[in-house]
Amino acid sequence: MITPFFSITQDDEFIYIDIKVSHIRFNAKSIEFTIDEELFIFSLPPYYLRLRLPFPLADDEERSNATFEGELIKVKVPKLTKGQFFHDLDLTSKLLARSTNVIDDDELKDTNSITKDKVAESKTNTPLIQELDVSNEISNTRQVEKDFAEGEKFNWEIEQKLPEPDSTGIDVDPSIQVTKSVKYGFDNQYDSIIGVSQSNGNDINELGDSEHTAYTDRIVERLIKENIKFDPEYYAADYIMEKYPTPDDDKIYKDILEWKNPLVRQFLKWYKTEQSLPENERTQIMPVSFTKDEQEKMLNLPKKSYLVEDKSPLLLLLVSLLFAYHFDLRENEGDHNIESAWTAGKIIPQFSFLDSQIIIQSDNVLRASTITLIRRALSYPYHRNYNLISKVWDDVYYNLRGGKRLVLKALLDLKELFRFHDVYYVYDKIWLEDFVTWFISDDVTEAMIRNLAHDLKKEYSTLSKSEITFEKVQAPEGDEDDDDDEDLDLQDENDNIIALNLREIEAMAEDMYQQQQQ
């Protein structure tokens, strides 16, 4: 069956569903639609549409009707409660989500094929992706209060876990290496995908063995390669070009720093209007509408829901996605180019190193993620400047402050960069498809997004340049080998490791610049 494109509007009394069917001949008798409380089903072979609306509809044949205009079928259905507002009717993938029947304890007692032990075991070993009944209402008063209470409880402290003992109880010779496949991607659900893409030219991936590198080893490998990739001279040159611009500079930072992000402008305009209203007339959630193209993108998302026990890695992924997206957008002053997917993929550690933990020397995992993204943005893109990064963080903050729907606009645009790429499409498959679908669901609340915005701003606004450090190899005097060729596995025992922070590099750049001006 084919899911047709559709759009929904409403007034106080009716729901209007416009359904587009193409390249078929039909008459009124061949069309069937069923109403069962909040469930609406439309059938016109080979087209089939099942929508789960936020509130019940009235099964009233006299007041319901369907009209035809070319390839468009317009269905009019009355609401059960007149004047009730149906939320999120433009989130098409949310309306298409399925529900599954839940087996209660009485049914389990009568089921001979499933013992209680097997049921308990299945609950323990069940993957974190499950089909759930989805409620589409996110904006009523009680839900908003509940959401904000949940958002206040979120804790960004790094979770500490003791290493698990070998379950076999057998002593293994350390000289014998056992290769074990590991999981990655959304909620660690995938494997055997990135390894194949490497042979097709996937240069976003930087793991030496993407299919077998353990979680903690991914962090270590990422930190080492970030240190190798960072070029202090490159950063110093960009720092001088931004602070002391000349007509002969290769890069013009002024235009990039002054560029106004359209999503940010949209939020600030709404916020300014809200502040001018009396407090009792202000709305908590910014209204955002989706274009037909964005609705079609949501229509192509997987029709499933998710059960995620730990949301913090996915919220950290959200921060990484938005930072990379807004960095590329600002670097290109609002446009994407042929290198946009590569730039974003390199900045996002969950893509380039399949690293969802992002733990460095920090008591706060959100702060650790912020530092990681800054380090990567100073090591890979064409423009490497701290003031540029500060502007990007402001873009991310205001995007989050705009709420779930404004963030969804950015995610849908970012997803397209990877979706149609010949090689990098794998990151859409293992991360973005599932993540965007999960993000649309009620599992992600408005309060969660707003609190994440405030928590993030607190972290990046209190960071100092001296906290952004890189470890570099200092060769003995007389050794002029290029740092780009250094390999930490083949270091000379006389080489010294020195820690450089951004403030020190900028101070040295200032001294050299002033000496040249004299």
pLDDT tens-digit profile of 294-305? Answer: 999 998 898 888
What pLDDT is stored for residue 397 in this prediction? 98
CA Rg value for the chain: 27
* Res. 182: pLDDT tops 90: no
Residue type, 5: F
Under a CB-based contact definition with an 8 Å cutoff, are residues 415 and 428 in contact?
A: yes
What pLDDT is stored for residue 477 in this prediction? 60
Query: 71-75, 80-84, 145-149, 178-182: which range is least confident on average?
Result: 145-149
What pLDDT is stored for residue 316 in this prediction? 95
Work out the average pLDDT over 116-142: 41
pTM, full prediction? 0.78
- More confident of the two residues 94 and 226: 226
Residue 157: pLDDT band (50, 70, 90) is low
What pLDDT is stored for residue 125 in this prediction? 40
What pLDDT is stored for residue 417 in this prediction? 96
- Best-predicted range by mean pLDDT (36-40, 90-94, 228-232): 228-232
Question: What's the chain's average pLDDT?
Answer: 83
- More confident of the two residues 262 and 361: 262
pLDDT tens-digit profile of 18-35? Answer: 988 887 777 777 788 888
What pLDDT is stored for residue 320 in this prediction? 98
Residue 139: pLDDT band (50, 70, 90) is very low
pLDDT tens-digit profile of 402-437? Answer: 999 999 999 999 999 999 899 999 999 999 999 999
Residue 388: pLDDT band (50, 70, 90) is very high
What pLDDT is stored for residue 359 in this prediction? 73
Instruction: Give the phi and the psi of residue 447 in degrees, each rounded to 5.
Output: -65, -35
Work out the average pLDDT over 177-182: 61
- More confident of the two residues 188 and 496: 188
- More confident of the two residues 150 and 297: 297
What percent of the chain clears pLDDT 90, i.e. is strictly above it?
54
Under a CB-based contact definition with an 8 Å cutoff, are residues 169 and 316 in contact?
A: no
By the 10 Å C-beta count (0-12 exposed, 13-18 middle, 19+ buried), 338 is classed as exposed
Residue 274: pLDDT band (50, 70, 90) is very high
Element (H, E) at 194: helix 194-198
- More confident of the two residues 112 and 417: 417
pLDDT tens-digit profile of 185-228? Answer: 999 999 999 999 988 899 999 999 999 999 889 999 999 999 99
Residue 253: both structure tokens together = 């930072």
Q: Which of 195, 175, 176, 177 is nearest to 185 (CA)?
A: 195
Residue 104: pLDDT band (50, 70, 90) is very low
- What DSSP letter does each residue of 108-165 carry, written as one string? HHT-TTS-HHHHHHHHHH--S-----------SHHHHHHHHHHHHH---BPP--PPPP
By the 10 Å C-beta count (0-12 exposed, 13-18 middle, 19+ buried), 135 is classed as middle
* Res. 236: pLDDT tops 90: yes
Element (H, E) at 357: none
